[in-house]
């Protein structure tokens, strides 16, 4: 079975609509698909009743959270989309995102860019504004040559547009997922640039807080990294998950259904639903 449990649509910072995403997933041979937009479930609800035959849709979300002053992402998989605790949490997340967008725009304006907030809003809509929308606006308006440069100089980690405060504690994000009957999973652990010791600590505390799993595979990655993460998950009693972290076509290492295979010894999170 081909599972892809980490994808994004235009409901957050993806380039495909939810309808386009499920069609592309089916064409890519995906059997089990989770739509995990950032801090919203509107992408899932948009296609919940219109799934191509043979494709199993897993309701999901990707929550931004704070762990030791570091922003990490928590995937909520197989969630109840009507759960009020989760919906209340998502309302808080959207309020934080709106405040964060204003702060990012202010910083970018001070750096000399023009029309930043209005430009990002036109691309994003009202529900979600993320750094990729700022990057796309700056490129489309001719103020920066490409999105890679936008993140490298202004929007990436530690840069002027990297506004981190306001996210809930990771234990709160996990609690929202559990309340919704879902499995909380650490998303793309290698992207946080943590030392091995710090990543071990994150896994330990994540499990203590009730987290269920870790994304051992995120897109196409080196086998050595997959083996390392699989061993770490096993040490901490975490189930494993896999996903492309798909945002847009044309990125071969993060395209639908293209993630590296899970080791045969792993215990996939979906086998425990």
Cα 259 to its chain centre, rounded Å, is: 15
In terms of residue numbers, what domain contains 251? 3-86+170-272
Give a yes or no: residue 162 inside a domain. Answer: no
Give residue-wise pLDDT tens across range 44-74.
999 987 898 999 999 999 999 999 999 999 9
- Strands of the chain, DSSP E: 3-7, 32-35, 56-67, 70-77, 183-186, 213-218, 239-243
**Residue 119, pLDDT above cutoff 80:** yes
Give residue-wise pLDDT tens across range 129-146.
888 889 989 999 999 999
How many structural domains does the chain have?
A: 2
Among 15-24, 151-160, 167-176, 261-270, whose mean pLDDT is lowest? 151-160
Please tell me whether residues 120 and 250 are part of one structural domain: no
Please tell me whether residues 222 and 265 are part of one structural domain: yes
pTM for the complete prediction?
0.91
Please tell me whether residues 140 and 178 are part of one structural domain: no
- Write down the residue that tokens 């995990």 correspond to: 36
Q: pLDDT band at 126, cuts 50/70/90?
A: low
Cα 102 to its chain centre, rounded Å, is: 21
Please tell me whether residues 135 and 218 are part of one structural domain: no
Give a yes or no: residue 161 inside a domain. Answer: no
Please tell me whether residues 183 and 243 are part of one structural domain: yes
**Residue 171, pLDDT above cutoff 80:** yes
pLDDT at 257: 87
Please tell me whether residues 194 and 266 are part of one structural domain: yes
131, 155, 179 — which closes off a domain? 155
Residue 269 vs residues 4, 137, 160, 166, 206: alpha-carbon distances, Å: 12, 37, 37, 29, 15
Residue 186 vs residues 69, 171, 191: alpha-carbon distances, Å: 16, 12, 11
The proportion of the chain whose per-residue pLDDT surpasses 70, expressed as a percent, equals 99
CATH of the domain at 146: 1.10.150.650
Please tell me whether residues 196 and 268 are part of one structural domain: yes
Contact between residue 174 and residue 209 where contact means Cβ atoms under 8 Å apart: yes
**Residue 240, pLDDT above cutoff 90:** yes
Q: What is the DSSP letter of 51?
A: P
């Amino acid at each position: 079975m081909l599972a892809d449990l980490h994808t994004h649509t235009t409901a957050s910072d993806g380039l495909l609509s939810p309808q386009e995403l499920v069609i592309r997933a089916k064409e890519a041979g995906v059997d089990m698909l989770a739509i995990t937009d950032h801090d919203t479930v509107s992408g899932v609800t948009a296609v919940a009743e219109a799934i191509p035959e043979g494709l199993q849709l897993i309701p999901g979300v990707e929550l931004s959270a704070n762990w030791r002053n570091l922003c990490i992402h928590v995937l909520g998989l197989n969630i109840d989309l009507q759960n009020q605790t989760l919906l209340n949490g998502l309302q808080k997340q959207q309020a934080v995102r709106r405040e964060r967008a204003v702060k990012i725009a202010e910083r970018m304006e001070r750096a000399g860019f023009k029309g930043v907030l209005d430009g990002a809003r036109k691309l994003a809509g009202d529900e979600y504004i993320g750094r990729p929308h700022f990057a796309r606006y700056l490129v489309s308006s001719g103020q920066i040559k490409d999105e890679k440069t936008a993140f490298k100089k202004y929007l990436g980690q530690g840069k002027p547009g990297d506004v981190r405060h306001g996210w809930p504690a990771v234990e709160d994000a996990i609690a929202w997922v559990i309340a919704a009957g879902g499995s909380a999973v650490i998303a793309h652990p290698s992207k946080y640039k943590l030392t091995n010791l710090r990543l071990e600590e994150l896994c330990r505390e994540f499990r203590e807080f009730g987290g269920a799993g870790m994304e051992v595979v995120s897109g196409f990655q080196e086998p050595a990294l997959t083996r390392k993460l699989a061993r770490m998950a096993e040490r901490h009693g975490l189930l494993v998950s896999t996903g492309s972290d798909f945002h847009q076509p044309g990125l071969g290492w993060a395209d639908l259904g293209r993630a590296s295979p899970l080791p045969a010894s792993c215990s996939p999170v979906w086998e425990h639903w």
